[in-house]
Structure 1
Amino acid sequence: MKKITDERLVLRNLQNTRIVYIVQTFGILCILGYDLFTSGIDGMRDNPVWLVFMVSAIVSAYLSMSISVEHEKKIRNPKKSFIISTVITLVISIIFAYFVSITPESGLSVGILTGLIILICFLIPNIYIYRLRMKQLIDLDDLEE
């Protein structure tokens, strides 16, 4: 099979892939919706299609992040943005940990665990974007030399 070199065909192939992804995601959501109505939320999450949907959504989000960093018009200071987003993440996770820990059903340990999970879930994308911006900054410095 020959590699496609015509830019119009490459673009059309990418658009076709996007359409297939949209149709596939819609199908997965329909299956999960059916499970939600017939088995409830626990039945829906027990379905292996739920895992496929979550993994594909996470991969799609990370791929979109890499494109959005490359599409930024002005170059941002990666360290400053990382520090600001980390502080905001830390504040949000502390707030969540506090509110979870004061609920009657859960104690301090559940609140701390919830805060740590939220911190990790927000910190991983922050680190990823920081690395992408640092790479972009290094690439621009190499081009200027």
Structure 2
Amino acid sequence: MKKIKDERLVLKNLKNIRTAYVIQTLGIIGILGYDVIQGGMDRMMANPLWSVFMITAIISSLLSMNVSVDEYPSQQSPKKGFLLSIIVVTFIAIAAGIAISLSSGITTGVLIGGVIFICGVPPFAYLFYLRKQRRDEEVDG
């Protein structure tokens, strides 16, 4: 099979892939919705499609970050945005930890707050990397 070199055909192929992705995602959401109706959230989360859906959503979000960095140039320093993001994630993690500590105990609150912080930092670190890389390309180019 030959590689497609015509840009119009490449664009058409990408649109077809996007359409298939949307239909597949709607099918997965439909199946998971049926599981919620039949057996509740526990049954839905036990379904392997839940894992596929979550992994796909996370990867799609990470890939779209690169597009948003390229689309919206910013004069703001990438470091300033990263530090602001870390402060916001830290505040959210502390607030959630305190709220959960009041109802479920301090150990659970610290654990949940830590998980929120650890899960919140990598996307902002990746975004910082993309913005820094873009800024370096603009300076060099």
Structure 1: gaps (5+ residues): none
1:39-78 equivalences under 5 Å are 39-78=39-78
Structure 2: gaps (5+ residues): none
Kindly report structure 1 stretches of 4+ aligned residues shifted beyond 6 Å. none
Structure 1 position 131 matched with structure 2 position 98: no
Q: Deviations over 1:2-57 (max 9, x none)?
A: 11111111111111000000000000001101111111110100000100000000
Q: What percentage of residue pairs aligned between the two structures are identical?
A: 44
Structure 1 position 84 matched with structure 2 position 84: yes
Q: TM-score under structure 2 normalisation?
A: 0.97
- Alignment-mate amino acid for residue 100 of structure 2: V
Distance 1:71 1:112 in 2: 38
Q: Deviations over 1:101-136 (max 9, x none)?
A: 011xx1001000111111112111110100111111
1:1-145 equivalences under 5 Å are 1-103=1-103, 106-143=104-141
- Alignment-mate amino acid for residue 61 of structure 2: A
Instruction: Provide the alpha-carbon RMSD of the alignment.
Output: 0.9
- Equivalent pairs, count: 141
* Conserved 8 A contact 1:69-1:133: yes
Distance 1:65 1:75 in 2: 17
Distance 2:73 2:116 in 1: 30
Distance 1:138 1:74 in 2: 13
Q: TM-score under structure 1 normalisation?
A: 0.94
Give secondary structure in 2 for the equivalent of 1:102.
Answer: helix
Distance 2:98 2:74 in 1: 37
